[in-house]
Structure 1
Amino acid sequence: MFNRGLLIAICMALSACASNQQNFAEFNRQFAEAKFPVRYTLEKTETTEIWDTVWAGEVAPSAAFRSDVLFEGIITNIEKKCGYGLDELVETRVVSHEALVFYEVWVFADEKSKRKDKRSAQTVYMEAWPDQTRTEYQLIGPCQASYPSFMFSE
């Protein structure tokens, strides 16, 4: 699932269709649909367009902070999956919090990260049961992802 987004990016770059504003919006829509932890931003000058990635969502407290058991379970599983835990947690970002469904991006300091800022992130997608006795979650995304940047010249 994750590689689909990178494949889309490469296809768009090779077909030179990425400079189209509509395609840019579609690309980010597909990232959101796949619950990727990043979105592309667009910077335009007179002669170029630059696509670069930013973490999805806005910095805000996680819904998981309300439950020690849930928070500890998520941190433990991220540590098992990626090797970083509470000490490396830099910020939590809320993409959306809707009734019983919470889509967040947790950003970690990560020396193995392929990004310049040495940060990596996991999407934490939580769904609470209607009676709120249980919350299930998914961790989405590779541990040390590398998202390509693009520059298009006229």
Structure 2
Amino acid sequence: MNRIEKITTEDPKKFYDYLNLNLKGLIAEEKDWLANLANASGLLYLLMDNINWAGFYLYKEEELILGPFQGKPACTRIEIGSGVCGTAANTFETQVVEDVNAFPGHIACDPDSQSEIVVPMIREGKLIGVLDIDSPIKNRFNEIDREYLEKFVEIILNHREIPLSY
């Protein structure tokens, strides 16, 4: 495995190209989807600035269950439709939340989190889970983050088959 180093750039697209290239290299030879999700969350936590949590919730038994992550201990189960993660899972749409305290029904797993982005993981029209990233800074995430983190999730979903239910 190549050494992954944090880069400094003012261009967010260059950053995300670097992030996604590293993800491809990191998961290229690994067949286990859970190991790849674990490394993907570690990569996000290592390279992204101003975040305090990065990880996955996986869809099982009609709810989201905590999966691989980096950061403080987190909520272990989230109902579909509840909070930012549950909303992304319910709508199949990425949620970019500038201020989590203003989001109706926000679930405060970490009171230090101020903004959040959640990308649903959808394959064959079915929910696999969500990618969740929190920041201690309001307005941390934007449309560029949305675009490139959706590509990040696509790379994971297209690499190896993640079970529709685990």
Larger radius of gyration: 1
What's the TM-score once normalised by structure 2's chain length? 0.34
Which structure's residues are more often strand, by fraction? 1
